[in-house]
Structure formats: structure tokens, C-alpha cells
């Protein structure tokens, strides 16, 4: 396990605090760790405790009086250099020289594993993301889902979890029925990548159904045959869907996203898992026959869990999609008797072996059986996800309920409104389109910065800068906040962007190349400038940044950390000569600091699925 320098400082603070409280004979009612926070101004310390607010209730003294008493009793130790009292707070200052040496030594020793930990060792996480209907290309809104899910997978692997990534494909829904009808009726199909072509004819067919109501009956018949699995429609729909998914995977390959398993809804339904799950729910008191407008339907009663009731099986005997999601969630945790069957689907460009469910495949017990499940699904699906998770409680699976997470995200909008597959508003804003535009804009920037570089370098650099810009723009905003897609913001090369972080990494590499050698000598209090000290602290906090982003399921925190480190490095570079430093000792110390920045920016970029270029 990698050392966590800032975590060690925190431990030393807790130890010093605990010792002082013991000597004073003061009992506390909260964990000391929960009382720690980082002051808004570094002049007030690096870590502060608000414990005196809790102590005030017990001792009936003001927090300020208690803070003064406590501050006198604290004895600095380890990485704690000194303690100061400010009003109601006791503030701890880190020994910057000792922190710098510990941090740089750890980075140099751990290199690519710096920041990683084993907090998730022995636990398996299953992440479902992307899950686009197989009737269209991925638009930039789907791209946000896929990138959030992919970065979560990378973060949790860095935290020691075994991670399995799923892409769930609904090949039985109305959109598939409409697309199949469109494919048969529209003879002159647009010349485009297969998923783009399907999206265009689906959009065209939707308008046609509104104009020709008799086509609605044909869609219903196809949908019924897809549900029943009878006739040629299910086979044709599967073939069409598989071609669409292969085209979708070309897009996700270019984004650097891979899946372990493709799960097809038709395979899930026809495996018997749906029937098994339905029977399990019937054996409880919660699934009942509907009455009134729901007569003949099966309704899950959820008032005991603070939720509205939910129809799971319609009066015509067809299951709603939430019923299928419940069955899938049960299977994810290994809680069904029936097994899915799998076969190898493809080997992706990054080496990932992607499997697919298949009725002609074999049972493979290494899939599923997760300890934790994360579903990356739009925020508007909050209620259906709550129904799915609470159905586990209905079945007495409390642990599985506790370990089910909905990573909800708001959608990407255009300035003109939401994306619509039916209206075709995604046209021009597919992930393919956005990447092409990003790479073209990146090429112009590469030409400006490196006009004499080879053609192959310019092509490769434009690709990884363009893709990096797209990925970063989709990960850098908190998932619960809506993104309005604007070209000038998504492809900005300014401060809070993928290219800006990549450029800082390339600058660090450039300094180290010019220096030729780095002497790894002790820094011995060399870092006097506030810009140097800020860098040291940020580097020390990298393991903490990974844990917060991963365990809190907020991947944007990693992007914000990387942007902050890049800005801090640029501020350092403006005021602190490295190769031309005043003394050889200061030169060596600053080169070690630059190397630390290089390693951490590279590791952060790779966790975001973004290439870390050595030249730009």
C-alpha cells in the first residue's frame, strides 16, 4: 500500500489531540477525525479542530476558553510543527520540510502506484454505465454517462477493488421496434457510420408514424413479438442491435472506454431470471394484485419503505422495465439461482477481453456476484432506482440494499434544450462529431506550438489532446449539475481543462529533460516560497484526493484536484527558477519537486483516462 503523506500528518494531529485530551481528562463524544477541517486561509494553519464546540456542551464553558486550555496542552509531534489557538479553534501547522521529504521520497519510490491504496482489497464492485438503446450513436450526453462510469472504475481499481464494468443493452424496447420497421421500410438509407444511419432513420420513422397512424399498429405487433421471442423479428432486431453496438464500441474505444460484459435484455428475459425474480417477489406480502385502474396488474407495495407503489407487471402480462432492472440487480449480487450464459465478444484495442451474454454461451461464474453495485443512470431515474434497490429489502437482502448506489447525473443540454433521439437534435453533437471537432481544434494548437514537429507527432498529439479535452469537459463538473454544451467551453485550452493539465505535465517533463539529471538529495528546509510549499502540500494530498473521489463516488473531485495542481505548478514556475536556481542544493530540491509534479499529474491524468504527453 502506498504511503499517504497528508494522511500521516492527520494521524499525527489526532495523536497529539488525543494525548492533550487525555492529560486534561476531557471525554469526547465524537470521533476526533470528524472534527478536523482545513482552514480557508493557510495562515490559520493546515488542519484545525472544531472539537471545542462539542466540548462546550459537556463542560458548560465557551469554546474559546476551552480552545485556549486545550492549545496549551497539545504537544507537537511527528509532522506537526506547531499549534496555535484562534478563537474557538485549535490550529495545527505542518512541518513543511519533513512533509516535503516524506512526500517526495514516497512519490519517487511508488511512482505509478503513488496515490493508490488497498482500502477496497477483497471486495468486488460492479459498475453499469453507458447502456444506450442500440438504435443510435452516442451523443455527448451519453458520453457524460460513459466517462463518469469509466473514471469511477479507474478510481476504484486504484483503491484496490476488483471492478467489473457492464454495458446493458435494451434490445426489446419500443425504440428497437420502430428502428426495425424503419430499416425495412426505408430503402434509401443515409450513407453514414452504422449507428449514425440507424439514428437518422429512427428519427425519420418517428415523424412518419405521427403522420401515418396505421404504422403504429405495426410497431405494436413487432414489440409484442420482441416480448414473446417469436418469429423472425427478435432475431432481426438482435442482428441490427449488434451491428449498432459494434459501431458504438468504436466510439467508446476512441474515448478510451472498455467494458468487461455486454448484457442483453433479451438474454436476461429469456434466461428465466425474470420469472425467478417475479416468483420470489410473489412469495412476499409486498407484490399484490392491482385493483381499480390497476386491475389485473401486479403491484409492488412500497409504503413500508416510504415510496409510492409501482406496477411491475401490466394487466396484459408484460413486465415493465423496472421489473427487468430488479432481476438484473439481483443477478449482479449473485442472488438468483438461474445463471446467465456468456461468450467472448471481442478483444478491444486496449487489450480488454469483452464478453457478451448469449443464449448459446456458457455459464461463467466469475461474472456478477458483486459486493457493491454502482448504476450510473440519469437523475430523472431516481424513483425507478429507488424501487429497484428497495425490492432487495422486500426480499430481505438488507446488505445488498445498503451496497446499491445510484450515481445520478444531470444530462448534457444544448443551449436550445435537451437532446432528443426522436427529433434528431443529437445530429452534429454525437461523441464522434465532438471528438472530430476537438481533434481538429487541437491540431491547430499543436501546429502553433510545435510547427517543426513531424507529421506523425502532430497527428498523435492532436488526437490525445482532443480526446483529453472531451473527457475532461465531461468529468470536471459535479454529476448533479447540468452541463449546457458549448463548443468554446468544452474545448477550452485555458485553466480548468484537460489540455491545460496535459500542458503542465509536458512542461514538467521539459524542465527535467533540460536538467538531464536529478540528484535525489534531502531537501533540508529548501522550500521557503509559499508557491513551493503549496505544491508540497498538494502533492501530499493526492492519495486523499483519490479516496475522496472514489469512495464518495464524485469523480469530478479528481479533475478539480488536477486543475488545482496544474495552476499551482504554473504559479511556482513563474517565481522559482529551477535549472538556474541560486544554489546547487536549491536546484536539486526544485528538480525533485518538479519530478513529483510530473508523476502526480501523469497519475491523475491516467485515472481520468487522459493521455499524459511528455511533449506538446
| pLDDT digits 0-9 by tens, 275-321 | 999 999 999 999 999 999 999 999 999 999 999 999 999 998 889 99
CB atoms within 10 A of CB 437: 18
What pLDDT is attached to residue 424?
Answer: 54
* pLDDT the model gives residue 196: 95
CATH of 129-418, one of 2.60.120.10, 3.30.930.10, 3.40.50.620, 3.20.20.140: 3.40.50.620
Cβ–Cβ < 8 Å for 591, 578: yes
Do residues 387 and 302 lie in contact, with contact meaning Cβ atoms separated by under 8 Å?
yes
Is the pLDDT at 109 greater than 80, yes or no? Answer: yes
329, 389 in Cβ contact below 8 A?
yes
Query: How much is the mean pLDDT over the chain?
Result: 93
pLDDT: is 312 or 228 the higher one?
A: 312
In DSSP terms, 341 is beta-bridged to: 363
Q: How many C-beta neighbours within 10 Å does residue 184 have?
A: 12
Helix, coil or strand: residue 85: strand
Look at residue 413 in the predicted model and tell me its pLDDT.
Answer: 74
Answer yes or no: is pLDDT of 490 > 80. no
Rounded Cα distance between 360 and 137, Å, is: 27
Q: From the CA atom positions of the chain, what is the Rg in Å?
A: 28
- Asked whether the beta carbons of 129 and 122 are under 8 A apart, the reply is no
Q: Which three cell numbers stand for residue 160?
A: 484496490
Binned at pLDDT 50, 70 and 90, residue 427 comes out as low
Which pLDDT score is estimated for 412? 82
Kindly report the CATH class assigned to 5-94: alpha beta
- What does DSSP say about strands 372-378 and 362-363: parallel, antiparallel, or unpaired? unpaired
Helix (H, G, I), strand (E, B) or coil at 363: strand
Q: Does 419 score more than 60 pLDDT?
A: no
Per-residue pLDDT tens over the stretch 167-196: 999 999 899 999 999 999 999 999 999 999
Return residue ranges of the chain for CATH 1.10.730.10.
432-607
Give how far Cα 296 sits from Cα of 229, 360, 554, Å.
23, 35, 43
| Mean pLDDT (whole number) for 605-614 | 97
Tell me, what's the pLDDT at 213?
A: 85
As a whole number, mean pLDDT of residues 433-454 equals: 89
Hey, which bits of 170-270 come out as E strands?
261-264
User: Has residue 255 got a pLDDT over 90?
Assistant: yes
| pLDDT tier at 2, thresholds 50, 70, 90 | low
Query: For 541-567, what is the mean pLDDT?
Result: 97
Please enumerate in sequence order all residues whose Cβ is within 8 A of that of 88, keeping only pairs 6 or more positions apart, or say none: 50, 52, 53, 62, 63, 64, 67
Cα–Cα distance measured from residue 497 to residue 562, given in angstroms and rounded to the nearest whole number: 10
pLDDT at 484: 81
Give the pairing of strands 36-37 and 287-289.
unpaired
Instruction: Using DSSP, state whether 296 is helix, strand or coil.
Output: coil
Of the candidate CATH numbers 1.20.1560.10, 1.10.730.10, 3.90.1170.50, 1.10.10.10, the domain formed by 432-607 belongs to 1.10.730.10
β-pairing, 417-418 vs 404-409, is unpaired
Distance (Å, whole) CA 239 – CA 523: 63
Q: What percent of the chain has pLDDT over 90?
A: 83
The whole-number average pLDDT for the span 548-574 is 97
- Closest by CA to 265, choosing from 198, 323, 221, is 323
**Candidate from 60-64, 202-206, 287-291, 489-493 with smallest mean pLDDT:** 489-493
Which three cell numbers mark 245?
A: 453496438
What pLDDT score was predicted for residue 445? 83
C-alpha cell at 426: 443529437
Q: Which residues belong to CATH 3.30.1360.70 in the chain? A: 5-94
> Which three three-digit cell numbers place residue 320?
415493465
Burial of 456 (C-beta count, 10 Å sphere; 0-12/13-18/19+): exposed
Q: 565 pLDDT exceeds 80?
A: yes
pLDDT exceeds 60 at position 423:
no
Total-model pTM: 0.95
> 366 is written with which cell numbers?
466469475
Please give the pLDDT value at position 485: 72
Q: pLDDT-based confidence at 1, cuts 50/70/90?
A: low
Q: Render pLDDT for 124-138 as a digit per residue (tens, 0 to 9).
A: 999 999 999 999 999
Q: Which has more confidence, 444 or 165?
A: 165
Give the model's confidence band at 425: pLDDT under 50 very low, under 70 low, under 90 confident, else very high: low
* Residue-wise burial string across 35-71, b where 16 or more C-beta atoms lie within 10 A, e elsewhere: bbeeeeeeeebbbbbbbbebbbeebeeebeebbebbb
| Overall average pLDDT of the 436-440 stretch | 91
Q: Are 408 and 149 in contact (CB under 8 A)?
A: no
Q: Where in the chain is the domain with CATH 3.40.50.620?
A: 129-418
Amino acid at each position: 500500500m502506498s504511503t499517504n503523506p497528508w494522511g500521516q500528518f492527520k494521524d499525527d494531529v489526532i495523536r497529539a489531540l488525543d494525548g492533550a485530551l487525555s492529560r486534561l481528562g476531557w471525554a469526547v463524544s465524537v470521533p476526533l477525525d470528524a472534527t478536523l477541517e482545513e482552514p480557508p486561509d493557510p495562515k490559520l494553519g493546515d488542519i484545525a479542530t472544531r472539537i471545542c464546540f462539542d466540548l462546550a456542551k459537556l463542560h458548560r464553558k465557551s469554546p474559546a476558553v476551552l480552545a485556549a486550555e486545550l492549545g496549551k496542552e497539545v504537544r507537537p509531534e511527528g509532522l506537526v510543527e506547531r499549534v496555535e489557538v484562534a478563537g474557538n479553534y485549535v490550529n495545527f501547522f505542518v512541518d513543511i520540510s519533513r512533509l516535503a521529504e516524506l512526500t517526495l521520497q514516497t512519490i519517487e519510490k511508488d511512482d505509478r502506484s503513488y496515490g493508490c491504496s488497498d482500502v477496497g482489497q477483497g471486495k468486488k464492485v460492479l459498475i453499469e454505465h453507458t447502456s444506450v438503446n442500440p438504435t443510435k450513436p452516442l451523443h455527448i450526453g451519453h458520453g457524460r454517462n460513459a466517462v463518469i462510469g469509466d473514471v469511477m472504475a479507474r478510481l476504484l481499481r486504484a483503491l484496490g477493488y476488483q471492478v467489473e464494468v457492464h454495458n446493458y443493452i435494451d434490445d426489446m424496447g419500443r425504440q428497437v421496434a420502430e428502428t426495425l420497421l424503419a430499416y425495412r421500410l426505408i430503402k434509401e438509407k443515409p450513407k453514414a457510420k452504422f449507428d449514425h444511419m440507424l439514428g437518422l432513420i429512427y428519427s425519420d420513422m418517428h415523424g412518419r408514424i405521427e403522420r401515418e397512424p396505421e404504422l403504429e399498429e405495426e410497431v405494436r405487433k413487432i414489440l409484442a413479438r420482441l416480448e414473446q421471442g417469436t418469429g423472425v423479428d427478435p432475431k432481426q432486431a438482435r442482428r441490427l442491435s449488434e451491428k449498432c453496438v459494434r459501431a458504438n464500441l468504436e466510439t467508446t474505444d476512441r474515448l478510451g472506454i472498455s467494458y468487461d460484459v455486454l448484457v442483453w435484455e433479451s438474454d436476461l428475459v429469456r434466461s428465466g431470471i425474470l420469472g425467478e425474480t417475479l416468483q420470489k417477489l410473489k412469495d412476499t406480502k409486498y407484490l399484490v394484485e392491482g385493483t381499480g385502474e390497476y386491475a389485473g396488474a401486479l403491484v409492488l407495495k412500497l409504503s413500508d419503505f416510504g415510496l409510492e407503489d409501482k406496477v411491475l407487471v401490466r394487466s396484459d402480462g408484460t413486465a415493465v422495465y423496472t421489473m427487468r432492472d430488479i432481476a438484473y440487480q439481483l443477478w449482479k449480487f449473485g442472488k438468483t439461482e438461474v445463471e446467465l450464459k456468456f461468450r467472448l465478444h471481442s478483444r478491444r484495442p486496449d487489450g480488454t477481453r469483452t464478453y457478451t451474454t448469449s443464449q448459446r454461451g456458457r455459464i461463467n461464474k466469475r461474472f456478477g456476484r458483486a459486493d457493491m453495485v454502482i448504476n450510473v443512470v440519469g437523475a430523472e431515474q431516481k424513483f425507478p432506482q429507488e424501487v429497484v434497490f428497495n425490492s432487495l429489502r422486500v426480499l430481505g437482502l438488507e446488505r445488498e440494499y445498503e451496497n446499491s448506489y445510484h450515481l445520478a447525473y444531470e444530462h448534457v443540454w444544448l443551449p436550445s434544450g435537451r437532446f432528443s433521439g426522436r427529433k434528431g437534435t443529437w445530429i452534429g453533437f454525437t461523441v464522434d462529431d465532438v471528438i472530430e471537432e476537438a481533434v481538429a481544434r487541437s491540431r491547430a494548437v499543436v501546429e502553433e506550438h510545435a510547427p517543426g514537429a513531424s507529421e506523425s507527432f502532430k497527428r498523435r498529439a492532436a488526437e490525445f489532446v482532443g480526446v483529453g479535452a472531451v473527457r475532461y469537459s465531461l468529468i470536471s463538473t459535479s454529476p448533479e449539475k447540468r452541463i449546457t454544451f458549448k463548443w468554446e467551453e468544452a474545448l477550452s485550452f485555458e485553466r480548468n481543462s484537460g489540455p491545460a493539465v496535459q500542458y503542465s505535465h509536458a512542461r514538467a517533463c521539459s524542465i527535467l529533460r533540460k536538467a538531464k539529471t536529478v540528484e535525489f538529495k534531502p531537501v533540508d528546509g529548501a522550500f521557503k516560497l509559499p508557491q513551493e510549499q503549496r505544491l508540497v502540500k498538494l502533492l501530499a494530498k493526492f492519495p486523499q484526493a483519490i479516496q475522496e473521489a472514489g469512495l464518495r463516488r464524485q469523480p469530478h473531485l479528481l479533475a478539480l484536484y488536477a486543475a488545482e495542481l496544474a495552476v499551482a505548478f504554473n504559479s511556482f514556475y513563474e517565481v522559482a527558477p529551477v535549472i538556474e536556481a541560486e544554489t546547487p542544493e536549491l536546484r536539486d530540491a526544485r528538480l525533485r519537486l518538479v519530478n513529483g509534479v510530473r508523476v502526480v499529474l501523469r497519475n491523475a491524468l491516467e485515472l481520468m483516462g487522459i493521455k499524459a504527453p511528455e511533449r506538446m
